[in-house]
Amino acid sequence: MSASTSKPIVLITGGGIGIGRSTGHAFAKAGYHVVVSDVLEHEGKAVVVEIEKAGGSAEFQPLNVRSTADADRLVADLTTRFGAIDCIVANAGIAHKVPMSDMTDEKWDETFDIDLKGMMRVIRPALPSMKARGAGAIICISSIMGIAYGWDEHVHYSSAKAGVIGFIRGLAVELAKSGIRVNGIAPGYIRTAQLLSEKHSLGPAGAEKAGEFIPMGRIGEPEEIADVVLFLASSAARYMTGQTVVVDGGLLVGRY
Ligand SMILES: NC(=O)c1ccc[n+]([C@@H]2O[C@H](COP(=O)([O-])OP(=O)(O)OC[C@H]3O[C@@H](n4cnc5c(N)ncnc54)[C@H](O)[C@@H]3O)[C@@H](O)[C@H]2O)c1
């Protein structure tokens, strides 16, 4: 719990749209003060308004996870104001379609910088105060494309998301005795701007068609990831660390 509010604090990266936005709503409903961070200011501020309208507590903080200085500054500000951050949801990510024949060092590095190093940037500065308190929950969003599938023309994305799983495992062990738990989620096909992009992913028609080979018969909704994030943050998951939970409507176990 924080020093200046009775509510626990959650910091969400990429909280303006999609899974991040739904996660903000879920945590607000559960009584957290939600720090919505994103490069999308308009969308992030709109989430804060929605949460407040629903009776919750939230604030928007601009953050590009590519900036170490900005991540350090934001975490320092939150730590000063609240004592420590109770939960970090490292969610910000991009998934651009680039065949290996067109891959550049810049594109590869951009994806890793956001999807993997971006997580480290917000988590690292939060650890001293979490350790001092002996508590904390960290949840990183990977993907089925990192844990099981190979995604053609998204090799950089699959690689970064596989890296997220290693990050979760290593950090979980390093922090286990500090009372800080580190877990992750590997979402399947979830209805967000990322999935609905014609250019980079399935697009709207492809997303609906995906339902045909998903055992539960449909793609997932962002709220269905948010609820599992909230579970991983909660004391119900108090003996779990280092795990990446697949939330995919049965896709991985059912496709044979
Ligand atoms: N939608 C899916 O089917 C799916 C499946 C598996 C994993 N994921 C993962 O879930 C997470 C959320 O994705 P989503 O589907 O909600 O996508 P989305 O495109 O709707 O949201 C991504 C969010 O990340 C933010 N972001 C991008 N670059 C950023 C940066 N440099 N700094 C800060 N924020 C940045 C965006 O502004 C946006 O708010 C991502 O890590 C994504 O890879 C999504």
pLDDT tens per residue, range 201-233: 999 999 989 999 999 999 999 999 999 999 999
- Cβ–ligand 1 distance for 189 under 6 Å, the answer yes
**pLDDT-based confidence at 5, cuts 50/70/90?**
confident
| pTM, two decimal places | 0.98
The end-to-end CA distance of the chain, in Å, is 46
The correct CATH number of 9-188+222-247 out of 3.40.50.720, 2.60.40.10, 3.30.360.10, 3.30.565.10 is: 3.40.50.720
CA of 114 to the centre of ligand 1 (A): 10
Q: Residue with the nearest Cα to atom 33 of ligand 1? A: 64
Domain ranges for the chain, please list them.
9-188+222-247
The response to whether residue 91 sits with its C-beta less than 6 Å from ligand 1 reads yes
**210: its two tokens:** 């995906």
In angstroms, the CA 122 to CA 175 distance is 16
What is the DSSP code (8-state) at residue 31?
A: T
Residue 14 · residue 20 · CB < 8 Å: yes
- Measure 229 CA to ligand 1 centroid, in angstroms: 15
